[in-house]
Chains A and B, each alone.
Chain A
Amino acid sequence: EDKVVQSPLSLVVHEGDTVTLNCSYEVTNFRSLLWYKQEKKAPTFLFMLTSSGIEKKSGRLSSILDKKELFSILNITATQTGDSAVYLCAVNTGTASKLTFGTGTRLQVTL
């Protein structure tokens, strides 16, 4: 059974801190790993990673994939209250774009 595990489950930090969110996976057929941000409604896309060691960056967010160790990290620097959300990691297992989601990490950024 395909499995995606995220840690920590929940995190509270002060504005300005840097956070690292973890995602590990065990799947039979890996095509890509995706990160999403979910606030009150549906997830919004952040990154898609397919190759090991290549960092993807968007503003204060960055992510990298390690296909040998089967994990990815999502970094957020200089956090802001607007970063408070649930961050979801999902793996595309290649069967018609099927995504297996992790449990999510709930991030709260306080003033």
Chain B
Amino acid sequence: GAVVSQHPSWVICKSGTSVKIECRSLDFQATTMFWYRQFPKQSLMLMATSNEGSKATYEQGVEKDKFLINHASLTLSTLTVTSAHPEDSSFYICSATPGTSSDNEQFFGPGTRLTVL
């Protein structure tokens, strides 16, 4: 149980285009999903917290107009990188947590590797 999937696994796109990444909880309802970014040989940096039916909460320094997050259902959150540039190339990982307790475990997706040419 507690499986989180991401789609696509990897994507290469041209500079200036937009890319949508999906995060799905397959066997549980995720009231909260998190989006992280990981640069090579660095740790996971939280970008935003996504709650079903409400606006995402972005971390300091993350542009909300550039990284659009939609959490339209209890099993799906999407991250859209708008007008992507080479510096947006990174490994994007989502995680999902059931329930509303702050002690709930986060289950991680397999990640999406984005390369912007």
Contacts and interface: CB of A to CB of B under 8 A. Distances in A.
A42 B104 contact: no
B95 to A, nearest CB: 8
A44 B97 CA distance: 14
A48 B93 CA distance: 20
Interface residues on A, range: 20 to 34
A97 B106 contact: yes
Q: Is the interface of B mostly helix, strand, loop or mixed?
A: loop
A45 B111 contact: no
B105 A95 contact: no
B103 A32 contact: yes
Interface string A44-64: 110010100000000000000
B106 A96 contact: no
A16 interface: no
28 contacts: A31-B102, A32-B103, A42-B108, A43-B93, A43-B108, A44-B108, A45-B107, A88-B43, A90-B44, A92-B102, A96-B49, A96-B51, A96-B102, A97-B34, A97-B97, A97-B103, A97-B104, A97-B106, A98-B49, A99-B34, A99-B46, A101-B36, A101-B43, A101-B45, A101-B46, A102-B43, A104-B42, A106-B41
Given A96-B51, A101-B44, 11 more contacts: A31-B103, A32-B103, A43-B108, A45-B107, A50-B103, A88-B44, A92-B103, A98-B34, A99-B46, A101-B36, A104-B43
The 8 A-B residue pairs with the shortest CB-CB distance, nearest first, are: A42-B108, A101-B43, A101-B44, A94-B102, A41-B110, A42-B111, A104-B43, A103-B43
Interface of B: 32, 34, 36, 41-46, 49, 51, 93, 97, 100-111
Interface of A: 31-32, 36, 41-45, 48, 50, 88, 90, 92, 94-104, 106
